Amino acid sequence: MQALTQFLQAAERLSVALTNEQAGQIELFCKELQDYNAHTNLVSDGSPETVLSEHVLDSLSLVPLIKNSLKGKGRLIDIGTGAGFPGLMLAIAIPELDVVLVDSVGKKLNFITSVLGKLELSHSVQIYNGRAEELAHQGQYRAQFDVATCRAVGAGIGLVCEIVCPFLKTGGHAFLQKSLSQCNALSATTSQNADKLGAKLIDTVDLSSQLGKPHGVLVMKQMQPCAAKYPRPWNQIKTKPLF
């Protein structure tokens, strides 16, 4: 598949080297998503070419950042994973990760459930169908993760941070993917207010040249445990965002 060859070349530009097995897993994933998307809409364009360039490559752009933040194995939680971006792609690209994929929309997680076995990832990927702000108050998830990602959630940055930070261990990192203009616009506000959640904005990464589009990542580090009152119930988060 020519699209796969072009994708692998683009991945190399991101300093992401995939084995033949990993490339095969991604190719299989794209085929399964295209077939599933024909009867249940998960992405606007399910063609392998678009999925690889618009979704998979974006997801893999986090691989070098995550590897730099980890010391060996780690746990990752992906909030609002949708069809598996970026969390499922990161589970493929970084096999030493144990991954939890969270989404409130069951039909999206039904697709992931249908492909986990085929991708041979059932041992390392767990699925949770529900609200992340409720999951964050459960002891087996709160402050249990080295890495948190959030790509699909389009809400305000204060809302996203309030949901994500409680999942992180002290010293853990959150990688929040946004357009470059959003990253630049939000970085000052995030930097000034992240301490409310025990976190700190440590970097704003510009990946535009590698991805060929204006794309950035806000990188946060959990400096101390998040206060127990966060995250608040959804109606409070939405109507009275922290920042």
Q: What is the pLDDT of residue 23?
A: 97
Query: CA-to-CA distance for 26 and 178, rounded, in angstroms?
Result: 23
**pLDDT above 90 for 230:** yes
- Tokens 């025990």 correspond to what residue? 198
Query: CA-to-CA distance for 94 and 209, rounded, in angstroms?
Result: 23
Q: What is the pLDDT of residue 72?
A: 86
- Tokens 């922290």 correspond to what residue? 242
The strand pairing partners of 129, in sequence order, are: 103
Which residues, at least 6 apart from 82, have a Cβ–Cβ distance to it below 8 Å? 42, 43, 103, 105, 108, 151, 152
**pLDDT above 80 for 197:** yes
Query: CA-to-CA distance for 107 and 79, rounded, in angstroms?
Result: 16
Give the pLDDT confidence of 49-88 residue by residue, as tens digits: 999 999 999 999 999 999 999 988 999 999 999 999 999 9
Q: What is the pLDDT of residue 153?
A: 63
Give the pLDDT confidence of 117-161 residue by residue, as tens digits: 999 999 999 999 999 999 999 999 999 999 999 996 666 899 999
Helices 106-119/20-37 angle, 10° precision: 140
Q: For the chain, list the domains and their CATH numbers.
A: 70-239 (3.40.50.150)
Position 18, amino acid: L
Give the pLDDT confidence of 6-41 residue by residue, as tens digits: 999 999 999 999 999 999 999 999 999 999 999 999
> Would you say the C-alpha torsion 179, 182, 187, 190 has a positive or negative sign?
negative
